[in-house]
Chains A and B, each alone.
Chain A
């Protein structure tokens, strides 16, 4: 039986939302406008498989980017040796990757 369409795309992120990107870049962690919040909720609501996570490699100093694989034998895979020295940079990197996936366009640094 079909359970209906793929509803993970309940809100569609489009180029119109680009104006919100600056606000996120400036303050990835903190209070966001309702419109930005909507984008983040959608991104954060993705299924587990393929979802980005961070692995803390050194307390307060070093985080690596990783992805959940959905494979119980190898549940997390580190991504391309991307490491960050602060969480804001990590959030920005993940945001950019997700943005590119939804809109097909990348965000300039």
Chain B
């Protein structure tokens, strides 16, 4: 199973500059690894229509249970949210914290 190379921070730069793609094959591989995590704890976003923001959330461990909202983590755009989640996942996989 492929691991994410902590030295490949240029891929993180590429993602940050263009979260919705198209992505280089190497970045796509990183994203596939990140997005392939198990359901429990997986990040997603909640659209708060009233405030017009996106709230960070996580899927529960048990199917059909309430999701976990992080109301202190809100974003004006999905691009900003994608970058924050990318950094969280990068740290989970490599142990390193990305700048920015």
- Do A and B come into direct contact in the complex, CB within 8 Å? yes
Interface, chain A (partner B; CB < 8 A): 33-35, 37-38
Residue of B nearest to A36 (CB): B25
Kindly name the residue among B24, B25, B26, B28 whose own CB sees the greatest number of chain A CB atoms within 10 A: B25
The closest CB in chain B to the CB of A39 belongs to B25
User: A37 to B26, alpha carbons, bound, how many Å?
Assistant: 10
Which 5 A/B pairs are nearest by Cβ-Cβ distance? A34-B25, A35-B25, A34-B29, A34-B26, A38-B25
Chain B residues packing against A (C-beta within 8 Å): 24-26, 28-29
Q: Given the complex, which residues of A lie within 8 Å of B29, measured CB to CB?
A: 34
At the interface, is chain A mostly helix, strand, loop or mixed? Answer: helix
**Chain A residues with CB under 8 A of B26:** 33-35
CA distance A34 to B4 in the complex (A): 13
Give the most central of A33, A34, A35, A37: most B CB within 10 Å: A34
C-alpha spacing A35/B23, complex, angstroms:
11
Beyond A33-B25, A34-B25, 10 additional contacts (C-beta under 8 Å) are A33-B26, A34-B24, A34-B26, A34-B28, A34-B29, A35-B24, A35-B25, A35-B26, A37-B25, A38-B25
**Contact partners of A35 in chain B: CB under 8 A:** 24-26
| Bound-state Cα–Cα, A38 to B24, Å | 10
A38 to B28, CA, bound (A): 12
A-B contact pairs, 10 of them (CB 8 A): A33-B26, A34-B24, A34-B25, A34-B26, A34-B28, A35-B24, A35-B25, A35-B26, A37-B25, A38-B25
Measured CB to CB, the nearest residue on chain A to B25 is A34
A38 to B22: give the CA distance in the assembly, Å.
15
Contact residues in A for B24 (Cβ distance below 8 Å): 34-35
Q: How far is the CA of A46 from the CA of B18 in the complex (A)?
A: 32
Smallest CB separation, B55 vs chain A (Å): 33
Task: Please give me the residue from chain A that is nearest to B32 by CB atom.
Answer: A34
Residues of B with C-beta under 8 A to A38: 25
